[in-house]
Amino acid sequence: MWVEAGFDPESYWRQTPRLYDIAIRARIRVREQEQQGRAWLAWHVAALPKMKRFPGLKELLGQRPKARVQTPSRIEAELKRMFGLKRNEPWPVAQPSAPCASSSDSTAAPSPTD
């Protein structure tokens, strides 16, 4: 198995059981990744002719355009657009709610769950 995995036959005798196991597992992982790559390629070769719109090379390779840096003003403008506010419209200010009776208030009536 050592030679089948592509290792030098002479180095077999210098391996400990642990190093042998690590090397074989790593080679198996590499072979599995190569197989997945071939399966990906075969699938795409079969699927691409069936596509209505042929993707560009960058899209096919998974290369995305660089993200634009968003300034705070641009983020604020986008949030306003999402919430239906106009660009120059100020943010609505929440009104303070009425004060609640504290639980330590001895004059408060007990709740039905007490």
Using the structure block, give the residue that is written with the tokens 């096919």. Answer: 60
At 27 the pLDDT is 92
In which residue ranges of the chain is pLDDT below 70? 98-114
Separation between Cα atoms, residue 48 and residue 65, nearest integer Å: 22
At 21 the pLDDT is 92
Structure tokens at 107: 């004059």
At 97 the pLDDT is 74
- Report whether 13 contacts 20 (CB < 8 A): no
pLDDT in tens, 38-65: 999 999 889 888 888 888 888 877 777 7
Separation between Cα atoms, residue 106 and residue 74, nearest integer Å: 52
